[in-house]
Structure 1
Amino acid sequence: MSAGQAWAVLFVAGLLEIVWALGLKASEGFTRWVPSVVVVVAAAASFWLLALAMRVLPAGTAYAVWTGIGAAGTAVLGMVLFGESAAALRLACIGLIVAGVLGLKFASG
Structure 2
Amino acid sequence: MTLAWTYLVIAGLLEVAWALGLKASQGFTRPLPSVLTVLAMVASFYLLAQAMRVLAVGTAYAIWVGIGAVGTVLLGMLIYGDSASPLRLVSLVLILAGLVGLKLAG
- State the TM bucket, normalised to the shorter chain: over 0.9
Summarize the alignment of residues 27-66 of structure 1 with structure 2, pairs less than 5 Å apart.
Answer: 27-66=25-64
Q: Matches of 2:55 and 2:22 in 1, distance apart?
A: 28
**TM-score normalised to the size of structure 2?**
0.98
Match for residue 73 of structure 1 among 71, 74, 84: 71
Aligned counterpart, 1:12: 10
Alpha-carbon deviation of 1:5? Answer: 1.1
Alpha-carbon deviation of 1:17? Answer: 0.2
Q: Which amino acid aligns with 1:66?
A: W
Instruction: List 4+ stretches of structure 1 deviating above 6 A.
Output: none
**TM-score normalised to the size of structure 1?**
0.96
SS in 2 for 1:85: coil
Aligned counterpart, 1:102: 100
Percentage of identical aligned residues: 61
Q: Matches of 1:32 and 1:100 in 2, distance apart?
A: 36
**Alignment RMSD (CA, Å):** 0.5
Q: Matches of 1:16 and 1:80 in 2, distance apart?
A: 18
Residue-by-residue CA offset, 1:5-59 (whole Å, 9 max, x unaligned)? 1111100000000000000000011111111011100000000000000000000
Q: Matches of 2:63 and 2:6 in 1, distance apart?
A: 12
Unpaired runs of at least 5, structure 2: none
Q: Matches of 1:7 and 1:78 in 2, distance apart?
A: 25
